[in-house]
Structure 1
Amino acid sequence: MSVFSPAPQEAGRLRPSVACDTGGALSGFRCIRSVGGIEEYRLAANGLRVLFMEARAAPVALLMLTYEVGSRHETDGFKGASHMIEHLMFKGSARFNRQLGTSIFDLLHPVGAQTNATTWLDRTNYFNLVPVSHLEIAADVEADRMRNLRIAPADLEAERTVVLNEHDMYAGDPLERLNQAVWGAAFRDHPYGHPVLGTRDDILGLTREHLFEHYNRYYWPDNATLTVIGDVDRKRTFDLVRRHFEPLPSANRSFETDHGAEPGPHGEQRVVVEQEGQPGWVMLAYRTPDGSSADADALELLGSVLTCGKLSRVYRPLVVTGLATGAWSSISRLRHPGLFQVQSLLGSDQAHLRVEQVLRDAIADIRRHGVSQQELDRAKGRTRGNLLTSRDGPVAVALQLNEAIAAGDWTSYAAATDRIAAVTVADVQRVARDYLIDARLTVGHLAQPGHGGAVQ
């Protein structure tokens, strides 16, 4: 789906949570916990998880449904099913469709709503930012399409064309191709190695029967989290959630796949993507723990020490020397073990192996000698600042919660600053020794044709 510009959002602080209220207006809900201003409930009738947060800075509300289904849940021959369903969810449901004159966009856009959806490895989410007076419309739409999706043959073919164009756009992006090649090499036996959009052949082969089978396996209240954030009245919010979602049945079964962690490690893997006229790129990717692990926090700070700012470990040997124009690091916080990636955009000399060696040497030095307290404090300050400034408004908060839900623990969002603060210099050196080793490494080069990445 296309990305809409955000509406005016709150610029101030989010209100702290109040104690869970399990009586009166919240009849039918079971309070689970309250963490960091966010309250968690379960709708007793069907297991729907509800996260509720008040934010009074503007008269808007964010309603989001996160389904725990993504490309990880797909099998060979059906890759791309999750993303295709995401598109088709906007074409119509039993009560909201063009034929009845009640299409989703025709109902939501005239009231100033922004609605969108995304698909990723572990989840698919649908979110609606609406004037608070129209929150019920969004709830009604999401409840109906949770169990009553319509897939008209003409709609499937129209969206197949859209999805194929999206697939081809990404397939034509050299850096996307490099990233996919690295993930594919790192995860040979796990669906994290598959493209989220699917393969072209599988997209072409998806049928209504395939898609309904996938939809009917995963689109249930007890496989979903409903998040409501904004200038909302507690009683009205829980009344409407109960009214629209309580009639839906639960699947009452496990939704997990048989895929555990990738076997291995496999030993060092190498991939090269060749592309004429593109600047060179070097990517180092190490297999790491799942996103809820405390080790992921230490690796995130290690990445900051390694690549962030002029005082980082690689700035002088890469940027000052002209070998590269910059370096970046990231860690994927996923339900299963993912990747810690360090990458660099090369300078005009296209010295792939020299840049790779600088990155490897810097990581090896942290394995041997660790980082200083000053470096760690600087990384913590930068990371904490980024966390706080990225939480401005209901949409930003919801989308970060979305990733925490997908990784298996929504409270990791609320506890993020405390978790970062708890990391020690010993933790950073330990995770470097445990995870940033050649046996867990995949190296990727984006190079000119004929160079094969082996440019000194």
Structure 2
Amino acid sequence: MYQKIRLSNGVRVVLEKIPHVKSVSLGFWVKTGSIHENLKNNGITHFIEHMLFKGTKNRTAKQIAEAIDDIGGQLNAFTSKECTCYYAKVLDAHIDIAIDVLTDMLFNSTFSPTEMEKEKSVVLEEINMYEDSPEDNVHDLLLSMVFKEHSLGMPVLGNHRTVNSFNKNMLINYIKDNYTVKNMVVSIAGNFDQEEVIRMLEEKFKDFTNENNKPEYLEDAKFITDVGFKYKDIEQLHLCIGFEGIPLGSDDYYPLLLMNTIFGGSMSSRLFQNIREDKGLAYSVFSYPSSYQQIGLFTIYAGINPSQLEEVILLIRKEINKVRKNGLSEAELLKAKEHLKGNYILGLESTSSRMLSIGKSELFLERIYSQKQVLQKIDHIKMEDVQNVIDKIFVLDKASVAVVGKVDKKIDVNSILKA
């Protein structure tokens, strides 16, 4: 059963008590990501995430790591397009240490100029690592194309120029603008004493009063149809085809997940079975939806031999036309429902996944669906709901295509896909 509590300063706390486990997972969520950046400070959200591990008024970077390592726990963080999350998983007996370390990082980080310069080198190497990964490149290229007039299209990591420009004042000002009471959610799942946890959080958050309530202004994100190539001297060609998807909170969200399961989201999916198993044309081929607050993206990916680009695009187009014309069968609909429910229930066996689920739901939707409600949403999906999503997503004339590898630009991928 989920509980939602507001601390005295207004910060939201969502909790799920699971008494039969011996662990507890905590997440400190901030509603800020690369979408809130601009061309001058792109990557600053991710850089701040790194810097919170580099020392506080009370702990060095090594002591932060040792505090959790010494109790056998896990400490980490991630930055996405729309949020940042700092999280820990520990034995239930050590929840006080996890709360102390995470709040120390959030409220007492020093942003030492020396540590900043060292961390710039670390992040630049992370950018280089992504540049050396063509599979990551092609997804980033697609995003930069379809949202090229919006901050949603900018990379989470930033680039060499922006990262090198960061200074302590930039980081502190960005935190003042975005690490606010209304932008923060604490999510906790596992075995804990609720009264004691709230008491500890009240103590740690008592001086956090950043109520910077300037209105958040983000331009509406619009999907742009385009074709993009990036030449790399590699053996494999990486292909992404993107369609405008479904935003977070939409009634079409679960029908979309169900459709994707059958189309390209599993090993028994149509794309996988046709292109990999039957034709042997790709090692990796799949589709997946990405949902943001304003807009969504539906992506089809394939890693292939450059000589087979045209054939694979034709096969993908054939599968799209087939699902547009005929939809799903009743057997596929039932199978996809069981697949979704199975994945959902299995995911709930981890306190980490429960913490992530309730934290993200509260941060973006300001509500949390119970397990029963989620299963009912899946069970209640009708064939017409799925067909409606298929008709919305698969508009070939509005598809965008990104290709990374030894690109033969004589091949008109646009015409092949949309003919």
Relative to the length of structure 2, the TM-score reads 0.90
Q: Give the alignment partner of residue 392 of structure 1, picking from 327, 349, 354.
A: 349
Choose between structure 1 and 2: higher helix proportion. Answer: 2
Residue identity in the other structure for 1:327? V
Distance 2:228 2:314 in 1: 16
Asked if the contact 1:281–1:352 (Cα under 8 Å) also holds between the matched residues in 2, the reply is no
Q: Give the alignment partner of residue 327 of structure 1, picking from 273, 285, 289.
A: 285
Q: 1:31 maps to what in 2?
A: none
Q: 1:171 maps to what in 2?
A: 131
Q: 1:86 maps to what in 2?
A: 49
Structure 1 residue 57 corresponds to structure 2 residue 20: yes
Distance 1:315 1:63 in 2: 37
Distance 1:66 1:250 in 2: 15
Asked if the contact 2:180–2:212 (Cα under 8 Å) also holds between the matched residues in 1, the reply is no
Asked if the contact 1:303–1:342 (Cα under 8 Å) also holds between the matched residues in 2, the reply is no
Distance 1:420 1:317 in 2: 26
Asked if the contact 1:292–1:412 (Cα under 8 Å) also holds between the matched residues in 2, the reply is no
Residue identity in the other structure for 1:138? A
Residue identity in the other structure for 1:41? I
Structure 1 residue 276 corresponds to structure 2 residue 233: yes
Asked if the contact 1:274–1:452 (Cα under 8 Å) also holds between the matched residues in 2, the reply is no
- Structure 1 pair 236/448, CA: closer, same or farther in 2 (3 Å)? same
CA apart distance, 1:449: 4.5
Q: Give the alignment partner of residue 411 of structure 1, picking from 343, 368, 372.
A: 368
Q: Give the alignment partner of residue 196 of structure 2, picking from 236, 241, 254.
A: 236
Distance 2:273 2:112 in 1: 58
Distance 1:299 1:289 in 2: 8
> Is the deviation greater in 127-136 or in 313-322?
313-322
Distance 1:89 1:255 in 2: 26
Distance 2:147 2:97 in 1: 42
CA apart distance, 1:144: 3.5
CA apart distance, 1:406: 5.0
Deviations 1:309-356 (A, max 9, x none): 57533345423123334531111122221211122232x573212211
Distance 2:400 2:200 in 1: 49
Structure 1 residue 421 corresponds to structure 2 residue 372: no
Distance 2:211 2:362 in 1: 19
Residue identity in the other structure for 1:153? P
CA apart distance, 1:190: 1.6
- Structure 1 pair 80/315, CA: closer, same or farther in 2 (3 Å)? closer
Distance 1:309 1:322 in 2: 17
CA apart distance, 1:148: 3.2
Deviations 1:45-75 (A, max 9, x none): 2211101111223332222101101111111
> Is the deviation greater in 319-328 or in 286-295?
319-328
Asked if the contact 2:266–2:272 (Cα under 8 Å) also holds between the matched residues in 1, the reply is yes
- Structure 1 pair 449/260, CA: closer, same or farther in 2 (3 Å)? closer
Structure 1 residue 95 corresponds to structure 2 residue 58: yes
Q: 2:218 maps to what in 1?
A: 258
Q: 1:41 maps to what in 2?
A: 5
- Structure 1 pair 350/412, CA: closer, same or farther in 2 (3 Å)? farther
Structure 1 residue 433 corresponds to structure 2 residue 398: no
Q: Give the alignment partner of residue 32 of structure 2, picking from 69, 86, 90.
A: 69
> Is the deviation greater in 367-376 or in 154-163?
367-376
Residue identity in the other structure for 1:285? G
Structure 1 residue 202 corresponds to structure 2 residue 162: yes
CA apart distance, 1:203: 0.6
Q: Give the alignment partner of residue 314 of structure 2, picking from 357, 363, 369.
A: 357
Residue identity in the other structure for 2:289? I
Structure 1: gaps (5+ residues): 1-16, 18-37
Q: 1:375 maps to what in 2?
A: 332
Structure 2: gaps (5+ residues): none
Residue identity in the other structure for 1:392? E
Q: 1:304 maps to what in 2?
A: 261
Asked if the contact 1:122–1:406 (Cα under 8 Å) also holds between the matched residues in 2, the reply is no
SS at match of 1:232: coil
Asked if the contact 2:152–2:221 (Cα under 8 Å) also holds between the matched residues in 1, the reply is no
SS at match of 1:392: coil
Asked if the contact 1:334–1:407 (Cα under 8 Å) also holds between the matched residues in 2, the reply is no
Distance 2:162 2:267 in 1: 45
SS at match of 1:147: helix
CA apart distance, 1:154: 0.3
Q: 1:138 maps to what in 2?
A: 98
Q: Give the alignment partner of residue 303 of structure 2, picking from 345, 355, 364.
A: 345
Q: Give the alignment partner of residue 108 of structure 1, picking from 68, 85, 93.
A: 68
Relative to the length of structure 1, the TM-score reads 0.84
Asked if the contact 1:147–1:220 (Cα under 8 Å) also holds between the matched residues in 2, the reply is no
Distance 1:46 1:452 in 2: 61
- Structure 1 pair 406/195, CA: closer, same or farther in 2 (3 Å)? farther
Asked if the contact 2:226–2:401 (Cα under 8 Å) also holds between the matched residues in 1, the reply is yes
> Is the deviation greater in 49-58 or in 276-285?
276-285
- Structure 1 pair 261/454, CA: closer, same or farther in 2 (3 Å)? closer
CA apart distance, 1:424: 1.5
Distance 1:185 1:308 in 2: 23
Alignment RMSD: 2.4
Q: Relative contact order, CA 8 A, sep 6+: which one is greater? A: 2
Distance 2:9 2:266 in 1: 49
Identity over aligned residues, as a percent?
23
